[in-house]
Amino acid sequence: MVNRPDMLPILSAKGVRLQLVDGRELIDGMSSWWSVIHGYNHPALNAAVHRQMDRVAHVMFGGLTHPAAVELAELLLKVVPSNLETIFFADSGSVAVEVAIKMAWQYWHARGETDKRRLLTIRGGYHGDTTGAMSVCDPERGMHHLFSAVLPQQLFAEVPSCRFGQPCDDEQIASFTAVLRRQQAEIAAVILEPIVQGAGGMRFYSADYLRRVRQLCDEHNVLLILDEIATGFGRTGKYFACEHAAVHPDIMCLGKALTGGYLTMAATLSTREIADTISQNGEGLFMHGPTFMANPIACAVAAASLELLASGDWTSQVRRIEEVLTAELESCRGVAGVADVRVLGAIGVVELDLPLDVPRAQSLFVDAGVWLRPFGNLLYTMPPYVISDDDLRQVTTVIQHVVRDQSELWAS
Ligand SMILES: *Cc1c(COP(=O)(O)O)cnc(C)c1O
């Protein structure tokens, strides 16, 4: 790999601190793309990896199983929406989304409804980097618009205009309702990120909107896939974001924080009815089997992460982070060039009117001892839940500083 000056080499990490090769330290405000919720180098997670390593690092998951997968499945089933009873362990978030889409297709195929092949989603979404997942990302402003011409053509409704905490009236869901009514006969599933649209724009939308989506899917014979890869495991203040709306999906995707950010691992869960329909018809099994499916070390560390969450401390940690972010980021609202400030759970976002000068922002962050990675118009933080108030204030102080710096840059 070329040693680029804008790439920082990390030697080690502990808690919320990244140690650079040259001895400098950075407070991590990103949780390594939102996954390292318990912090780096956690003794309980390290121990789980070591323990499993000494038993078996990997074994194929076809015709064989292992206790780490069974234990993880049991722990997951205790926390997910109660209608979800079966689990498919995949190896990354994008694959979990592919699996969810294939489950929906195979389900309708098994029921003889072979026209139901398309997906409906909302604009502004992000569901991963593989072909099926890319096809449901925002088709114009997302990072995959370059590939639009070669992707399966899916159906898109407008971004919900009703914000989190607000009700959603007929008008605000009209675009979604219209597509669903018109094309239900060819729609296999609706796929959405519940409440928080992450990498597609860090927007928080109304729980009422999500409730109405659930109702509309039921009325129109369409499955609902919720992609909780970014929102799962406490990030929004609820264990899963769908709990804000008291909604149960038919299929759910998990990833990112599942292993506490230690290893790549994801899961796709479904109802018993979907799993049984697939396995009692046609091929008799779900047609997907990745080589590293249910890797034992990943399962063991995921189980250890769920046990840390089960102790319950995350609820007060996330609430405290929400309070500090709300108090500290609010001051950015008045600054020229700031379009919006929003906080939900352990997510703080400052949206600007214009795209940031990212290299300039990056060097200010690093000089202040903080690691953040803004994109487009968005400055945001999603810190590990274990961050202290002082460290979090160091993160928000540098966000305030960068907002003012960019604002002055545009004014000059
Ligand atoms: C990150 C993400 C994915 C993709 O997960 P990878 O592990 O990067 O493949 C899918 N959906 C959402 C909502 C995500 O945030």
Choice from 131, 256, 380 to test ligand 1 binding pocket (greatest atom count within 8 A of CB)? 256
| 39 domain-assigned | no
| CA angle at 83 for the pair 80 and 87, rounded to the nearest 5° | 60
pLDDT confidence of 287, banded at 50, 70, 90?
confident
Residue 103 · residue 274 · CB < 8 Å: yes
pLDDT, residue 1, reads: 47
Distance CA 398, CA 248 (A): 39
| 41 domain-assigned | no
Distance CA 412, CA 405 (A): 11
Distance in Å, CA 334 to ligand 1 centroid: 33
321 and 185, same domain (yes or no) = no
Q: Is the pLDDT of residue 364 over 90?
A: yes
Task: Output the residue whose Cα is nearest ligand 1's atom 5.
Answer: 93
| 1 domain-assigned | no
Looking at ligand 1, which atom is closest to the CA of residue 230? 15
What's the whole-number mean pLDDT along residues 177-205? 98
The 10s digit of each residue's pLDDT in 149-185 is 899 999 999 999 999 999 999 999 999 999 999 999 9
The 10s digit of each residue's pLDDT in 33-90 is 999 999 999 999 999 999 999 999 999 999 999 999 999 999 999 999 999 999 999 9
| 218 domain-assigned | yes
Distance in Å, CA 76 to ligand 1 centroid: 19
Mean pLDDT of all residues in the chain?
A: 96
Looking at ligand 1, which atom is closest to the CA of residue 255? 7
236 and 293, same domain (yes or no) = yes
Looking at ligand 1, which atom is closest to the CA of residue 128? 4
The 10s digit of each residue's pLDDT in 309-349 is 999 899 999 999 999 999 999 999 999 999 999 999 999 99
The residues lining ligand 1, judged by C-beta closer than 6 Å to any ligand atom, are 92-94, 97, 126-129, 193, 198-199, 227, 229-230, 255-256
pLDDT, residue 319, reads: 98
pLDDT confidence of 143, banded at 50, 70, 90?
confident
Indicate the number of domains in the chain.
Answer: 2
pLDDT confidence of 5, banded at 50, 70, 90?
low
| 146 domain-assigned | yes
CATH number of domain containing 375: 3.90.1150.10
Joined tokens for residue 147: 């590939």
Q: Is the pLDDT of residue 4 over 70?
A: no
Q: Is the pLDDT of residue 2 over 70?
A: no
Joined tokens for residue 313: 């401390």
Taking the CA atoms of residue 326, residue 348, residue 396 and residue 314 in that order, the dihedral angle to the nearest 10 degrees is 80
292 and 330, same domain (yes or no) = no
Distance in Å, CA 25 to ligand 1 centroid: 28
202 and 269, same domain (yes or no) = yes
Distance in Å, CA 128 to ligand 1 centroid: 5
110 and 214, same domain (yes or no) = yes
Q: In this structure, which long-range contacts are made by residues 318-322, counting pairs with CB atoms below 8 Å and at least 24 apart in sequence? A: 318/234, 318/235, 318/237, 318/345, 318/346, 318/385, 319/237, 320/389, 321/345, 321/346, 321/383, 321/385, 321/387, 321/392, 322/237, 322/346
| 358 domain-assigned | yes
For residue 83, count other CB atoms closer than 10 A to its CB. Answer: 14
What's the whole-number mean pLDDT along residues 219-248? 98
pLDDT confidence of 141, banded at 50, 70, 90?
confident
pLDDT, residue 93, reads: 98
Choice from 137, 202, 225, 229 to test ligand 1 binding pocket (greatest atom count within 8 A of CB)? 229
139 and 241, same domain (yes or no) = yes
284 and 325, same domain (yes or no) = no
Joined tokens for residue 342: 């929003």
245 and 367, same domain (yes or no) = no
137 and 51, same domain (yes or no) = yes
Domain end residue (candidates: 275, 291, 311): 311
Q: Is the pLDDT of residue 142 over 80?
A: no
304 and 345, same domain (yes or no) = no
Distance in Å, CA 127 to ligand 1 centroid: 5
One-letter amino acid at 173 equals I
CATH number of domain containing 263: 3.40.640.10
Q: Residue 174 belongs to what domain range? A: 46-311
Share of the chain above pLDDT 70, in %: 99
Distance in Å, CA 237 to ligand 1 centroid: 19
Q: Is the pLDDT of residue 7 over 80?
A: yes
| 347 domain-assigned | yes
334 and 369, same domain (yes or no) = yes
248 and 183, same domain (yes or no) = yes
Domain end residue (candidates: 311, 327, 351): 311
Distance in Å, CA 229 to ligand 1 centroid: 6
Looking at ligand 1, which atom is closest to the CA of residue 130? 9
| 2 domain-assigned | no
